[in-house]
Chain A
Amino acid sequence: MAKETREQGQDGGEFAEFLADVSQEIALRVESLQPAATVPTPERKKTPIAADGGAITEWPSIADRMIEEMR
């Protein structure tokens, strides 16, 4: 797999060639590597404000909301 060596001054666009190769590779990778999507979380109903002066009565729902907000 020996590669030929380019002598100095033969190509002033060494960086441009390098950039072109890298760009091509990245374009390929970015296309094939879409981020692994997670399943969207269904929107939860907000805990209704209790009629009795805002006292929390639905503890399981509050816990769910806290967990969701912490995500």
Chain B
Amino acid sequence: MSVVNYGTREITCKIVYYGPGRSGKTTNLQHVYSKLPEERKGKMVSLATETDRTLFFDFLPLDLGTISGFATRFQLYTVPGQVYYAATRKLVLQGVDGVVFVADSQSRQMAENIESLQDLHANLADESLDPRSIPLVMQYNKRDLPKSEICSIEELDETLNFRGVPHFSATAVTGGGVFETLRSISTLVLSRLSAPATKV
């Protein structure tokens, strides 16, 4: 859980990009990484197979520097979307502060979106996190594809966004909507920051 630590003057938040395989989670992180100023560029850890599928997870530490006197760090993770990596997804979700659900806008991928969303809910519940209240943002990716191949935003929202959380259309491959999504989830996570009781 994200905490304002007044003792060490640190704020750390963990954000996980969740969604079906090939929906664009890794592409989101790659775009964020490409826009980081050199002095803030750490290492983006990405474990992929020979066909560029995320094997384990991606990890991008975002060191935002000192803000209001606090060393601020965001940790961005992706999960492997393929169904058979269920254990990894559970592991990555541990201690999560906010989730970006990256949905594939293609009509033929709707079933995968729904399955992944259900998987997210089940895994959050397993972690004793309430899927109805955890900070969540929906991203409808691949909006650059021909209209005949993709669902409308309204359709995606009606099917996937039953909580009515903020949603963003995106073309992660060109960077469209990536930072808007990150800003939104960050704000949601930070609005829930809590301070531990400390001795005087």
A residues with CB within 8 A of B: 1-3, 5-9, 14-15, 17-19, 21-23, 25-27, 29-30, 33-40, 71
Contact = CB atoms under 8 A, between A and B. Distances in A.
5 contacts: A7-B174, A26-B68, A29-B193, A30-B4, A33-B4
Contact of B6 (A26, A35, A39): A35
A37 B200 CA distance: 6
Chain B interface size band reads 35 or more
The 10 nearest A-B residue pairs measured at CB:
A8-B174, A36-B197, A8-B175, A5-B177, A33-B195, A14-B179, A25-B190, A35-B198, A5-B176, A35-B6
Interface string B177-200: 111101110110011011111111
Contact of A6 (B68, B164, B177): B177
B64 interface: yes
Contacts of B36: 15
A50 B41 CA distance: 63
A5 B170 CA distance: 6
Contacts of B177: 3, 5-6
B64 A22 contact: yes
